[in-house]
Amino acid sequence: MYQKTPVALAVATLLMPLTLHAEETAENAPHEHDHKYERVIVTASPLEKSALNSAQAIHVLSDDELRQAQAATLGETLRGIPGVQSSYFGPTASSPVIRGLDGPRVKVVQNGLDVADISRGGPDHAVSTESTTAQQIEVFRGPSTLLFGSGASGGVVNVVDNRVPRYAEQGITGYYGAGYNSSANERNVSAGIDAGADDITVHFDMFMRKGDDYDVPNFLTLEGDIANTIENSFTDDKGFNIGASYFLDSGFIGFSYGRMERDYGLPGHTHDEGEGHDSHDEHDDIYASFVQDRYQVLGSFIDPMKGFKRLDINLGFTEMNHDEIEGDVVETGFSLEQTELRLTATHQPILSWDGAVGIQVQNQQYQSSGTEAFTPNSETDLTGIFWLLEKNIDQITLEMGARVEEVKIATDDFGTIKHTPVSASFGVNYRATELLSFSMSLSYSERAPQANELFANGAHFATRSYELGGFYELHEDHHAPTDPDYTGLYHVAPSTTGLNKEKANNIDLGLHYDGLKYHLDASVFYNHIRNFIYQQNTGLSSELLVADHSHHDDHGHHDDHGHDHSSAGLPIYAYQQQDADLYGYELAGHYEFNSQWHLGAFSDYTRAKFVDASPGNTNVPRIPAQRAGLHLSYMPAGWETKLSYTHHFSQTKVSADEVKTDGFGMLSAHVNYYPSYFAGQDFAIYFKAENITNQLGYAHNSFIKDFAPLPGRSFGIGVRAQF
């Protein structure tokens, strides 16, 4: 009964507005609260829509909500949003998981352009974004391939900042902030300024963050020891952006340059055949270090030509070097260069349909070398065209669109692989009253497999696995045991099939209610994916592989420094395809007792299983557990306080190679203080206490679940001022 109680409380709280106040109307229900996130314009949409007016489930994180949630990684910043959890490779390299999907199915963009890093290729690679300098973060739950391409088949996260000023300033505005968190002794500072005169506005922002290994409740390690600190989980980050825009009567054109540098530990990462090792001096364990330089041109022009209302130009070039280092030796190096151009033209109504047409062109050059360079160097070209349409009929808004793209992946060993994904969608938003609206979204999306899914062949020590891409397959070795080259039972051979495109049919139903006392958002979704790509545990160990000495340099069995990083003993995970169904819900709402006291609740759930699966292979691996939570807010003048409890249910629907994860609960408190006057500035002080009861919890979907539990009790304080 205990595990059902949070759901019962959440459902009861969330359904009260429908059962008790369905009779409310606009005339007798003036708004005493402002859910601002729903009314903020979603910058990623060329049709200037708010989250409230979209048929797709969108959440915009901004202002105080963003400041309270901000963490060292994007995944940890967004994990409180219904339907969004974190991959949790420790607090240093966590990416967002949307409705059970992550990695290559969740597109992360910065101001509408791909972040251009290697985070989509492995959970141990951090996303190159920063929340302390962001103005808002837009989360698209569900397929968003029309605007962003086949890599957005599961959702999109758009991090928006002002590195290229979009609005002219006359004078000087800015912000500064600082924060501290006790769990990892984390310190951070950030600042930004915009200054303008006449037709020119310039921008500058910066941030710095430094944190030590983070603390956890006492837990039993796989070696049988008791630990309360996660070794090698430090982070040391810094970055800045500088930009300027020139404003015309008909629009603007701007340019920015940004640089980000990150050093962060990789918990549980070892080359000792899956066994842990003692910590040594600082950075003696394996850690990651990347430097990214990003250039962006952004422009928007009103009435650029006959028949078009606006033309938006978004051009970016990014260079990134990402190294994994042990001691003073670079064990593995990655480099990436990416150029991307998006042109979007909003046209005049066609048969009363507003719309926008666009083109996206992207080139990515990827190289790797060293111990974990288990994918070959590759060049990926993407070209896509799309058309979005929208029409209002009284209280009904209709949306539809289509996209066609060509994806080409070229390698020396495999030649050029080409796919042509096609996507289409149709949506309806029905505003039944001023208080109540319904939405429905139908979509068909295709996703081309990525290079690592196709060509991986080698040990990935961070996830403690041997990865085998779809262009390989295992063959039983028939050499006699007396053969001097015989070292195992299987050898890796080229596959005759490879991997096909994923094809997904998705339906999303939503409800939004905003009454005098009650507020409710509800979504249910169903996603049928044909040819779903996943990593299947073959049940074999890499020590059973016949050694191919001709590929040692390529796959890192021996490096130039004489280290022997054997992949023996790692389980072999092969990329396979199988039809899958994913379905679930997101609920969030609150009740206002009065202007000062609010009671809120949320719950989310994703069920993912294979279709026509063989016994023991029913469940899609690494799906986050169901959650439900309650919070109580008290908001006297100048203050905002919130006490919240989130229960993570046990995850028992696991794949053949997974271990069930027990449920746990987290109690947290937030206090914000807004002085009425502080040197003429908009000033705020933030205090938070998380996991107050110091509960031991594990993220089921984490590759390093057993090595890196969630943080223990922590206290944080921060300040933020705007002028």
Q: What is the pLDDT of residues 117-162, one digit of tens each?
A: 999 888 889 999 999 999 999 999 998 889 898 889 999 999 999 9
Are 103 and 575 contacting, i.e. CB atoms less than 8 angstroms apart?
A: no
pLDDT over 60 (residue 554): no
Distances (CA, A) of 20 to 54, 510, 517, 602: 27, 20, 11, 19
Token pair for residue 152?
């957005």
- Of residues 505 and 562, the one with the higher pLDDT is 505
pLDDT one-digit tens code per residue, 198-235:
999 999 999 999 999 999 999 998 888 999 999 999 99
pLDDT one-digit tens code per residue, 272-297:
443 333 333 444 588 999 999 999 99
pLDDT over 90 (residue 634): yes
Confidence of residue 10 (pLDDT cuts 50, 70, 90): very low
Does an H or E element contain 582, and which?
strand 571-592
pLDDT over 70 (residue 34): no
> How far is 449 from 457, CA to CA, in rounded Å?
16
CA torsion through residues 619, 508, 46, 245, sign = negative
pLDDT one-digit tens code per residue, 231-276:
999 999 999 999 999 999 999 999 999 999 999 998 876 554 433 3
pLDDT over 90 (residue 523): yes
pLDDT over 70 (residue 31): no
- Of residues 14 and 542, the one with the higher pLDDT is 542
Say how many C-beta atoms besides its own lie within 10 A of residue 306's C-beta.
Answer: 6
pLDDT one-digit tens code per residue, 685-711:
999 999 999 999 999 999 889 889 999
Give the residue-averaged pLDDT of 633-647: 96
pLDDT over 50 (residue 533): yes
Are 665 and 647 contacting, i.e. CB atoms less than 8 angstroms apart?
A: yes
Are 99 and 117 contacting, i.e. CB atoms less than 8 angstroms apart?
A: no
Query: Which CATH number do you get for residue 279?
Result: 2.40.170.20
Collect all residues with Cβ–Cβ distance below 8 Å to 553 and sequence separation of at least 6: none
Per DSSP, 402 falls in state E
Tell me the pLDDT of the chain averaged across its residues: 87
Say how many C-beta atoms besides its own lie within 10 A of residue 342's C-beta.
Answer: 24
Confidence of residue 32 (pLDDT cuts 50, 70, 90): very low
pLDDT over 50 (residue 195): yes
Collect all residues with Cβ–Cβ distance below 8 Å to 533 and sequence separation of at least 6: 449, 453, 470, 499, 502, 575, 576, 577
Residue 191 CA to its chain's centroid (Å): 24
> How far is 238 from 292, CA to CA, in rounded Å?
11
pLDDT one-digit tens code per residue, 37-84:
445 667 777 877 777 778 888 999 988 888 888 888 999 999 999 999
Can you give the three-state secondary structure of 662-699, one letter per residue? CCEEEEEEEEEECCCCECCEEEEEEEEEECCCCCCCCC
> How far is 672 from 669, CA to CA, in rounded Å?
10
- Percent of the chain residues topping a pLDDT of 90: 68
Q: Report the pLDDT value the prediction gives residue 508, as an integer from 0 to 100.
A: 97
pLDDT over 90 (residue 387): yes
Token pair for residue 709?
């539990």
Can you give the three-state secondary structure of 297-349, one letter per residue? EEEEEECCCCCEEEEEEEEEEEEEEEEEEECCEEEEEEEEEEEEEEEEEEEEE
Collect all residues with Cβ–Cβ distance below 8 Å to 690 and sequence separation of at least 6: 183, 666, 668, 711, 713, 714, 715, 716
Q: What angle do CA 39, 41, 42 make, to 5 degrees?
A: 120
Under DSSP, is residue 74 helix (H, G, I), strand (E, B) or coil?
helix
Are 142 and 56 contacting, i.e. CB atoms less than 8 angstroms apart?
A: yes
Q: Report the pLDDT value the prediction gives residue 36, as an integer from 0 to 100.
A: 46
Q: Report the pLDDT value the prediction gives residue 2, as an integer from 0 to 100.
A: 34
Range of the domain at 368: 2-722
Residue 452 CA to its chain's centroid (Å): 18
- Tally of domains within the chain: 1
Q: Report the pLDDT value the prediction gives residue 268, as an integer from 0 to 100.
A: 77
Give the residue-averaged pLDDT of 648-670: 94
pLDDT over 60 (residue 13): no
Q: Report the pLDDT value the prediction gives residue 323, as an integer from 0 to 100.
A: 94
Distances (CA, A) of 528 to 126, 243, 448, 610, 707: 29, 43, 16, 10, 33
> How far is 101 from 98, CA to CA, in rounded Å?
5
Please name which of 139, 156, 151 lies closest in space to residue 405, comparing C-alpha atoms.
151
Are 661 and 630 contacting, i.e. CB atoms less than 8 angstroms apart?
A: no
- Of residues 481 and 29, the one with the higher pLDDT is 481
